[in-house]
Structures are given as C-alpha cells and as structure tokens.
C-alpha cells in the first residue's frame, strides 16, 4: 500500500502546486483576490485548479477502495497515470483550452477504472457476506 500512499500524497502536492500557480497568476495578470475573473490566462490557471479539485473528490476514494479490493500496485499505476494526465491537462488548458482533451482523458479514464474496480470489489464483498 506504500505506492498508493505515495500517489495520494503526490496528488495532494499536485493540488497544492496548482494552487501556487493560481496565486502566481494573480500577481502576474493583476487579478486581486477575491476576484476569479479579469484576465483570460489567470482564468485558465484557476479553472485547472478548480477542475483538479473536483476530480480529486472522485479520484482519491476510488484509488483507495480499488487498492483495497485489487492489487495495490496496479491501482497505484492507474493513479500515476492520473497524475500525468492532470499535468498534461494543465499544460494544454493554459496554452489553449481546446488542447485540454488528452490530459482530461488521461486523468479521467484511470479514475473511472478505479471507480469501477472499487465498486465491483465492494459489491462482490457484499454478495459474499
């Protein structure tokens, strides 16, 4: 489970890093808090952060439940793919929001796989009693 724990902490660090990028973008593009609009590049960084925080609510529990019912190392590999996907999502979205698709897919597909694996494991355990 150490690999799953590592992926969990890396996901937390990634979310923190995205928050730092938003703070930096506020200064660079002159968007004072609490505003969340005013400069398109700032808004892109902000949306990446918001979207990543939204996916974490699905990703993290799915990662842990899947790791409990499946091989933890495989769950961690899917988690690592998620992390790479979020970085590609950041890069694509900031360049041009139309380029976010590959990063989105690369983070959502492993998330959905973990969710389904975890759900399958839970249902199977409940049916076995």
Confidence at residue 129, expressed as pLDDT on a 0 to 100 scale: 83
Give the C-alpha separation, 28 to 40, whole Å.
12
Domain boundaries, the chain: 2-128
Confidence at residue 52, expressed as pLDDT on a 0 to 100 scale: 98
* Nearest to 47, CA basis, from 105, 78, 92, 110: 92
Residue 34 pLDDT more than 90? Answer: yes
Give the C-alpha separation, 30 to 17, whole Å.
20
- How far is residue 13 from each of residues 6, 50, 122, measured CA to CA in Å? 10, 15, 29
Q: Which CATH number fits domain 2-128: 1.20.120.550, 3.30.70.260, 1.10.287.310, 3.40.50.1010?
A: 1.20.120.550
Query: What value does the mean pLDDT of the chain take?
Result: 97
Give the C-alpha separation, 68 to 33, whole Å.
41
Average pLDDT of span 74-91: 98
pLDDT confidence of 42, banded at 50, 70, 90?
very high
Per-residue pLDDT reduced to its tens digit, 91-104 = 999 999 999 999 99
């Amino acid at each position: 489970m150490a690999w799953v724990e590592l992926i969990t902490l890396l996901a937390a660090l990634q979310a923190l890093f995205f928050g730092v990028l938003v703070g930096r973008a506020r200064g660079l593009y002159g968007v004072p808090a609490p505003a969340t609009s005013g400069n398109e590049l700032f808004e892109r960084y902000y949306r990446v952060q918001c979207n990543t925080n939204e996916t974490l609510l699905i990703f993290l529990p799915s990662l842990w439940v899947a790791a409990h019912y499946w091989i933890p190392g495989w769950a961690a590999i899917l988690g690592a793919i998620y992390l790479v996907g979020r970085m590609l999502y950041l890069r694509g979205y900031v360049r041009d929001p139309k380029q976010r698709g590959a990063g989105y897919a690369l983070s959502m597909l492993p998330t959905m796989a973990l969710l389904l694996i975890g759900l399958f494991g839970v249902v199977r355990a409940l049916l076995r009693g």
